[in-house]
Amino acid sequence: MVTASLIDILKQPSRPVKQVAWSNMGDRLATVSQDSSVRIYSARDQSLLQTITASVPGGPVGLKWSPDDNYLAFAAGSADQAKITIYNTDDLSVARALPFRPLGPSYAEGTQLRAVDWGPLGEKLVAGGRRRLFGRRIHYRFLFIRTYDVGSSDPSEWGEENNFSWARSRGNRDVTGIDISPDREWTVAATNIGRIDVLDSSAQNSNDWSMFTALTEPDNPTQAVFSHDGTRLAVPDWGNPRIFIYDPKNWSVSHTVDLGTPTGPVTWSPRDQYLAVGDWEQPFNVTILETDTWTTVGTSDQPHVDKIQSIDWLIDGSKLATGSSDDTIRVWGTPFTGPLIPPEIELPFVGKVPTLLLVPAALAGAVVTAAAVTQEGER
């Protein structure tokens, strides 16, 4: 049994931490708190580099670095204030604000933004939540996904592309998590109605995307996370002890892990050999699972004092970051360093491309643009 050793505790000003996210290059850590404060820390020594303070109705839902780390998408808000604000990461100026609004008739006060993800080439941004429509006597709520075309090098040309609405209900129904597969063949939407909806997102234009299937396990799938190689999807049953592992080849459950204690968020190690799980109940530890046998091989040494809300693994495997309702971010050292990523990856519309062209991390020092990758794939 190995130990993830505590390196540092980063305290927030009396606000629960909603999300933590290492940059793809592995040099920065972004966090967002309940008060909508975004902080960026150095991955080397955890020193505070930059801060954004914003008051957003409806609260924050998260952060997502663009694949080249040039932008940071901050998704937050409800009603007519729901939007994705995209910051330039060199100076945190606003590159573009994209509204989260349905196409067609709706009530702004019934719209809620809950999740966001960036496409693997940086050309698509996908956000999820709910929308509200008015019937004759009843206000209906729908699960709702909005797609954006952000492929241009000029942010002023970014804009809305398509939307999807489904699962009509009189109660609150939300998309709570979005993840796009590394080859962009699939986009999964975790929901609060006990299922994960799978969209076929293989078409280059999201107007041609379609609903493919619905996964009915677990009961509370707040999050769904693809492995880095795209061959597995991990879905924790938040507040319950089980984690479901799906095989995207046929969308069957390939493994069910029972930890015995209620689970929270999960994150894959860089080479997918391990899965780290944050506790949803005491002792609020991090549990590390080996993903061949799904046995516990490690745990953290100094637990949080409240629920772990978010967890992320640094690209070189040397550190884990957790954000908690105890108003702290904890950074842990892990012994699982090694080869960072597979030598090549299958990309949509391009084919197999050397991974160093996409995610060089500390190895190569820069990430090429989608256009450069396309040129490489055409040679």
What pLDDT does 301 receive? 87
Residue 216 C-alpha from the chain's centroid:
20
Is 332 domain-assigned?
no
Percentage with pLDDT > 70 across the chain: 78
Distance CA 234, CA 18 (A): 20
Q: How far apart are CA 44 and CA 244, in angstroms?
A: 34
Residue 322 in any domain: the answer is no
Q: Is residue 134 part of a domain?
A: no
Judge contact between 249 and 229, C-beta under 8 A: no
> Exposed, middle or buried, 250 (CB in 10 Å: 0-12/13-18/19+)?
exposed
pTM, two decimals, is: 0.85
How many domains, in total, are found in the chain? Answer: 1
Integer CA distances (angstroms), 207 to 97, 156, 160, 181, in order: 21, 21, 11, 18
In sequence order, the β-bridge partners of residue 275 are: 268, 289
Query: What span, in angstroms and rounded, lies between the C-alpha atoms of 31 and 62?
Result: 8
Is 197 within the bounds of a domain?
no
Examine residue 289 and state whether it is found in any structural domain, yes or no: no
> How many Å separate Cα 58 from the centre of its chain?
19
Q: Are strands 319-324 and 328-333 parallel, antiparallel or unpaired?
A: antiparallel
Walk along the chain (379 residues) in steps of 10 and give the mean pLDDT of each run.
86 81 93 86 91 69 88 82 88 90 55 85 87 55 84 92 71 80 93 88 91 90 93 93 96 94 92 93 91 93 91 93 93 73 50 48 32 33
363 is in which domain, residue-wise?
344-379
In a domain, 351, yes or no: yes
In a domain, 377, yes or no: yes
Q: Within its chain, how far is the Cα of 295 from the centroid?
A: 25
Does residue 356 lie in a domain region?
A: yes
* Residue 253: both structure tokens together: 């459950």
